[in-house]
Structure 1
Amino acid sequence: MDLQQMRYVLAVAETNNFTRAAERCRVVQSALSHQIARLERELGAKLFERTSRRVRLTPAGEAFLPAARQALDAAERARAEVAAAAGEIRGTLAIGAIPTVTAVDLPTELRRFHLRHPRVRITLRSGASELLAERVRDGDLDLAFLGLPPDVRPKGVRGRELTRGELVVLVPPDHPLAGEAETDLPRLADEPFVDFASGSAARAQSDQAFEAAGVRRDVAFEITTPHFMAALIRQGLGIGMLPAAFVSDLPDLPAVRLRDAPARVEHLVWSRFRPSPAAAAFLADLGAARPDAAGA
């Protein structure tokens, strides 16, 4: 068994096709098929069910895949550690970020890091805070930028608080509140709302504020991105709330301050385990000078 065979298995599992897997691995299909068949003989089990129409993992293949991924990740980590000892940062850097991160200019930071460390492959995944934190805990992401209510701390990860802020109300340009500088939650009770999915950390910020104020509201539209929220508000379908620091990206929508505004805290989190050289370098760039120190 060798690493290249594992790469072939992973490629077939991800593409469900031997031809596409061979193209991804830049080998002829016969060579890829031969190596997988050789591995199956060594393991004494078939990893794939092959028919004229489909390819899928067998139960043995399902069991083999996580260990193969771990082995490939460990090999890549070993190469990166050796390179770092020689003064070169390489390997991979997997980052997660909420769509409304404002504490750092992430595109600019990623560009700077890429220019300093061109041999690092950077990936970015956008999503909800709770899912990103889980992926950091599971080792799928090196670090992530989260937005959480003030009373919530990310669990099972290390991290630091980046910034605190408040949400403001976004309304259509012709809305009665468009000309006002400030309002409160009771005045919004009869408005249809556009908000994030129920149960998400982004939704919890506004839900908790309305509950504390004793105000019920109607969330008519559930979305996953702030720009989709803005598009629905522009059409006059509802109002919504976003971080005050983010709404400068939406200058066409009136933003109204809230006297009892929901608050949000942005966090940077990373694994409890020793970060990779690339992750350690990026964390240091962001001011997390000791990424292996105690955290959340």
Structure 2
Amino acid sequence: MELKLLEDFLCLNDTRNFSRAAEVRNITQSTLSKRIRTLEHWVGATLVDRSSYPIELTPEGAAMVPQARELVSTFQGMRAGIRAFATPARNSIRIGALHTLRVTFLPQLRRHAEAELGPLMVENNGSSAAYAQTLRQFRNGETDVLLTYVHPSVANGLDSSGYDTLHMGHDRLVPVSAPDRDGSALHRLDTGGVVRFLSYGQSSFFAQALAPLLAERPMALNVAATNAMSLGLQSLAKVGCGVAWVPHSLAADDLASGELVPAAGPDWALDLEIRLFRHRRSCRPVTERFWAAAAGMAEAEAGRDAGLRALHHAG
């Protein structure tokens, strides 16, 4: 049994959607489906209930998730530890990134860097890695740079004495819901009633960022589902399961098409900063080159933001 089958299964559990999971895993939907069938044949049980949308796991599949995460984490940790002793290839850059940013922001950062530096061998941390694990891998030197969200409510321990940082952009965590027949939010936060809440759980980045907001504005929240991945909660929100806070960069297309609508006013959103970190010491030449390319991208983005603000004030 190959490790990639477990990684496919965990990604499918997180997204609850075959097409989205295939996109994240960078394979075709038919390949993903075949791999899940292969895994089911190997364990001797049906793991996915394909008759529901979003898909649900069978009891056997749900029981397998924590064991699969532990196995994948163990093997990835072993691989990363061994690679730390080896000399990486000259053009190989090891990037740690939060799951959402790996989908929304990292591709454009890579395109910009390769336009200046030529082809890069980019190694990403596993798609199932939790926020704490992603931070730990970076601090331990298992990744060269870290692409992450930053919010005042979430401590990351990356102080300025040991790390350099670049401001790469902004995002917003916005509450969204599927629309009702009139196009209004099916689930809203400001009705005063019980709200069906799609939760990030307790330990993910977004869970920590949301905690103060939810504490300041007590509501009757009925947790309808829990998933540490924003892609999974977005899929659940689209089929009417409740309210989810989703990064605007991820939900923009669904908001534009009307598949999702705001579940509250803008004062319920959280501003997020996108930052790139690197270790101040022991920077490899490829890391230096990648960092310079990223700095150029950040500078260009800052210039565009300044131009838009000037146009806004002039208007």
Identity across aligned pairs (percent)? 18
Aligned pair in 2 of structure 1 residues 259, 278: CA closer, same or farther (>3 Å)? same
Post-superposition CA distance 1:142-181 (Å, at most 9, x none): 11211232244532443234334432211112278x526x
Q: How does 1:24-39 map onto structure 2 within 5 Å?
A: none
Q: Distance in 1 between matches of 2:97 and 2:253?
A: 17
Q: Distance in 2 between matches of 1:102 and 1:118?
A: 20
* 8 Å CA contact 1:162, 1:267 repeated in 2: yes
Tell me the CA shift for residue 284 of structure 1.
0.8
Partner of 1:200: 204
* 2:114 is equivalent to residue 110 of structure 1: no
How many residues of Structure 1 are paired with residues of Structure 2 in the alignment?
209
Partner of 2:136: 134
Q: How does 1:92-107 map onto structure 2 within 5 Å?
A: 92-101=92-101, 105-107=105-107
* 2:238 is equivalent to residue 234 of structure 1: yes
* 8 Å CA contact 2:153, 2:212 repeated in 1: no
Q: Distance in 2 between matches of 1:145 and 1:286?
A: 11
Post-superposition CA distance 1:197-252 (Å, at most 9, x none): 31222111222201022335233311133222122112222110112343213242
Partner of 2:305: none
Q: Which has the larger radius of gyration?
A: 1
Q: Distance in 2 between matches of 1:247 and 1:173?
A: 14
Corresponding residue to 2:146 among 122, 144, 156: 144
Corresponding residue to 1:253 among 251, 257, 260: 260
* 2:278 is equivalent to residue 273 of structure 1: no
Post-superposition CA distance 1:40-73 (Å, at most 9, x none): xxxxxxxxxxxxxxxxxxxxxxxx9998644423
* 8 Å CA contact 1:128, 1:202 repeated in 2: no
Partner of 1:222: 226
Partner of 1:179: 184
Q: Distance in 2 between matches of 1:158 and 1:189?
A: 46
Q: Distance in 2 between matches of 1:165 and 1:279?
A: 25
Higher mean C-alpha displacement, 216-225 vs 136-145 = 216-225
Q: Residue 204 of structure 2 aligns to which amino acid in structure 1?
A: S
Q: Residue 96 of structure 1 aligns to which amino acid in structure 2?
A: G
Aligned pair in 2 of structure 1 residues 151, 197: CA closer, same or farther (>3 Å)? closer
* 8 Å CA contact 1:103, 1:163 repeated in 2: no
Q: Residue 180 of structure 2 aligns to which amino acid in structure 1?
A: D
* 2:81 is equivalent to residue 72 of structure 1: no
Q: Distance in 1 between matches of 2:238 and 2:157?
A: 37
Q: Distance in 2 between matches of 1:201 and 1:105?
A: 17
* 8 Å CA contact 2:84, 2:141 repeated in 1: no
Aligned pair in 2 of structure 1 residues 92, 259: CA closer, same or farther (>3 Å)? same
Q: Distance in 1 between matches of 2:248 and 2:79?
A: 44
Helix, strand or coil at the partner of 1:259: helix
* 8 Å CA contact 2:101, 2:148 repeated in 1: yes
Helix, strand or coil at the partner of 2:288: helix
Helix, strand or coil at the partner of 2:99: coil
Aligned pair in 2 of structure 1 residues 119, 227: CA closer, same or farther (>3 Å)? closer
Higher mean C-alpha displacement, 137-146 vs 103-112 = 103-112
Q: Residue 261 of structure 2 aligns to which amino acid in structure 1?
A: P
Q: Distance in 1 between matches of 2:118 and 2:212?
A: 44
Corresponding residue to 1:213 among 213, 217, 220: 217
Aligned-CA RMSD value: 3.5
Higher mean C-alpha displacement, 202-211 vs 155-164 = 155-164
Helix, strand or coil at the partner of 2:100: coil
Helix, strand or coil at the partner of 2:231: helix
TM-score (norm 1): 0.59
Q: Distance in 1 between matches of 2:79 and 2:252?
A: 45
Q: Distance in 1 between matches of 2:230 and 2:221?
A: 19
Q: Distance in 1 between matches of 2:81 and 2:251?
A: 44
Aligned pair in 2 of structure 1 residues 186, 65: CA closer, same or farther (>3 Å)? closer
Q: Distance in 1 between matches of 2:232 and 2:80?
A: 36
Ranges in structure 2 where 5+ consecutive residues have no aligned partner: 4-77, 298-315
Aligned pair in 2 of structure 1 residues 238, 119: CA closer, same or farther (>3 Å)? closer
